[in-house]
Chains A and B, each alone.
Chain A
Amino acid sequence: MNRLGDLERAVMEVLWQRSEPMTVREVGRALHERDLAHTTVMTVLDRLAKKGVVDRAREGRAWRYRPAASRESYVSELMFDALGQTGDRDAALAAFVRSMSEDEAEALRRALGEIDEPRT
């Protein structure tokens, strides 16, 4: 993974851990072991804001950033996409198995039972 992607992840982790919006300086301080330049943190937050994964609001002279949604909701969004439950997004992703009806799942369970424990 590239360095920028790695930084974006680290910054998101920090934002997800804190419950309140943070300034660039606060994010930089939380990642002090990485020894990042102020402008680097600002660039990363700016990129994340452009991607729509963080929201920002001006407070006094500084911007405050917070995640647009929780980690869990992003994971769910990806899974929703993947299982083809989001309407006409089919061509974007090809799931190994789409979500299916209970009937079909039952038929598969029966077939699997026959293979896993062959009847004597």
Chain B
Amino acid sequence: MVSAALLAAIAVGCFVAAARLRRASWPYRGPYVAVIAWQALGLAWGISTIGALLAFGLSVYGQGVFGGLLALIGDASAHGFYLTGAAKSPFAPVQVAAILVALGLTLVLFCGLTASFVQVVRTRRRHHDLLELVGRDDPGVPGARILDHPAAAAYCLPGVLRSEVVISAGALKVLDERELAAVIAHEHAHLRQRHDLVLLPFSSLKRAFPRVRIMEGYYRTVALLIEMCADDQARRERSPKELATALMRFGANNAHTPIGALAATSEQTEVLARVKRLLTPVRALTRAQSAAVLCGAALLMAVTVLLWHVPV
């Protein structure tokens, strides 16, 4: 029961920490570190929530979550699904329910991740097939495919064997040569560091809990941080001002009313935040500060996993 209580405390703590992390300003100063912090919080939340439910449900066996799961399987198979362990407990029905909820949650998370992955692979394959047919190469723009469309767009299509950077004709029109190079450097950074894989768990959480507003918020926060990571990479090769003006030209030429109810106030400042960050550089996190965050993340993961093994 102690481990169940501690795991539940961690699960709640992760929510509190996520809310604070969303409002904090330091992530803009160290987007890489912040993304790792987000991943640790997400993972720890999942492991501690499922762990808390299981630890409570399996406490009758007194062997912790891992040992308890094995004992449960042994018990169920030996007695034809009649749980002798649970029968001794005064609140057996609640405990069995907790185990079922834990299994359900695991299933939802697993299915969400799988469905997301399949959908992404399918979308990319279709996108790639079409791009092969309607995209063109331009000797003046090495390292990118051109799409003949008047709207300004630049994006990358990640893949293991065939990843591409795509620039629309509209974008070529509004950007000058150096801005274009900065945009391409930004997109290549996404591809090189496989940022799409970093974002995938957050987009599948969003998919697994489509009605939960806060998941959308987490997703957008991490997506923005990842954009900042790519901005930082591009900044090593190109001047930040070129990247900032490129961002602004895209925005100025590309106003759409987003479909659906996406026009929330939070997203309105995303591009502006990136522009501001490029034009007035913020002080990067010091090595000690980064190390503190990373150690915190590692400690959180270690404690959470350890609690799965605590027998009380």
Contacts and interface: CB of A to CB of B under 8 A. Distances in A.
Contacts of A90: 199, 203, 219, 223
A85 B155 contact: no
Contacts of A91: 116, 120, 196, 199-200, 203-204
B221 to A, nearest CB: 13
Given A8-B132, A85-B259, A99 B254 contact: yes
B147 A79 contact: yes
A48 B130 CA distance: 10
B190 A105 contact: no
Contacts of B246: 96
A104 interface: yes
Given A12-B133, A74-B134, A79 B153 contact: yes
Contacts of A5: 132
Interface residues of B, number: 67
B99 interface: no
Q: From DSSP, what is the main secondary structure of chain B's interface residues? A: helix
Contacts of B268: 100-101, 103-104
Interface string B180-194: 000100110010000
Interface in B224-241: 226-227, 241
A81 interface: yes
Interface string A77-102: 11101110101111111111101111
Contacts of B269: 104
Given A97-B271, A112-B245, 17 more contacts: A1-B132, A52-B126, A79-B147, A79-B151, A81-B127, A82-B155, A83-B256, A85-B258, A88-B206, A93-B123, A94-B155, A94-B187, A94-B195, A94-B227, A97-B254, A108-B272, A115-B245
Contact of A8 (B133, B257, B259, B263): B133
A103 B252 CA distance: 10
A94 B120 CA distance: 12
Nearest to A5: B132
Interface in B193-228: 195-196, 199-200, 203-204, 206-207, 219, 223, 226-227
A34 to B, nearest CB: 17
Given A78-B131, A94-B155, A108 B183 contact: no
B153 A104 contact: no
A69 to B, nearest CB: 10
Given A100-B251, A104-B251, A109-B252, A94 B129 contact: no
B247 interface: yes
Contacts of A95: 153-155
7 closest residue pairs by CB, A with B: A108-B251, A105-B255, A99-B256, A91-B203, A96-B154, A92-B123, A112-B248
Contacts of B219: 90
A89 B123 contact: yes
B14 interface: no
A78 B64 CA distance: 51
B168 interface: yes
Q: From DSSP, what is the main secondary structure of chain A's interface residues? A: helix
Interface string B134-169: 100100000000011101111111100000001010
Given A12-B133, A75-B149, A79-B151, A92 B272 contact: no
Contact of B127 (A12, A92, A103, A112): A92
Contact of B255 (A78, A82, A87, A101): A101
A43 interface: no
B226 to A, nearest CB: 8
Contacts of B157: 93
Contacts of A81: 123, 127
B135 to A, nearest CB: 8
16 contacts: A53-B133, A71-B134, A75-B148, A79-B147, A88-B206, A89-B119, A93-B156, A97-B271, A100-B256, A100-B258, A103-B268, A104-B268, A104-B269, A109-B251, A115-B245, A115-B248
A61 interface: no
B40 interface: no
